[in-house]
């Protein structure tokens, strides 16, 4: 049963990584859109330059934030899986490790 917990945790990590990848793409797309359309979104060239600068800042900071949130989520998934695995191992009366050993010479 603990193996199933770790398989589910691995699948959750894959899904979480997919969401992080989509979030990173969204941040990059918004920053590129704002940077490319700065002239149409503002009235003057000074404000357009500021918008381009802010778009570049959003892209750089947004990528860092996405990676940090991804790392926190991965750590949370792994910690929850470890806790569930430990709790399940304590409650499940299983065979001892010595019962799984093969006789000598039969490896």
- Residue range 15-71, pLDDT digits in tens: 999 999 999 999 888 888 877 877 776 677 788 788 888 888 888 888 899 999 999
pTM: 0.69
Please indicate, yes or no, if residue 67 is contained in any of the structural domains: yes
The pLDDT of residue 104 is above 60: yes
Q: How many residues does the chain have?
A: 107
Instruction: Read off the tokens for 30.
Output: 């918004």
As for how many domains the chain has, the answer is 1
First to last CA, the chain: 25
* Mutual angle of helices 45-91 and 2-36, in 10-degree steps: 180
Instruction: Read off the tokens for 22.
Output: 């989509």
**52, containing H or E segment:** helix 45-91
Please indicate, yes or no, if residue 97 is contained in any of the structural domains: no
Please indicate, yes or no, if residue 93 is contained in any of the structural domains: no
User: Which range marks the domain in which residue 82 is found?
Assistant: 12-87
């Amino acid at each position: 049963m603990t193996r199933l917990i770790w398989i589910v945790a691995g699948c959750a990590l894959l899904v979480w990584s997919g969401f992080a990848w989509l979030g990173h793409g969204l941040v990059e797309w918004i920053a590129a859109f704002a940077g490319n359309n700065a002239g149409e979104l503002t009235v003057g060239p000074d404000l357009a330059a500021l918008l381009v600068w802010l778009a570049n800042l959003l892209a750089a900071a947004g990528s860092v934030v996405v990676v940090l949130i991804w790392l926190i989520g991965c750590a949370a998934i792994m910690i929850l899986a470890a806790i569930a695995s430990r709790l399940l191992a304590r409650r499940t009366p299983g065979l001892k490790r010595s019962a799984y050993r093969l006789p000598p010479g039969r490896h």
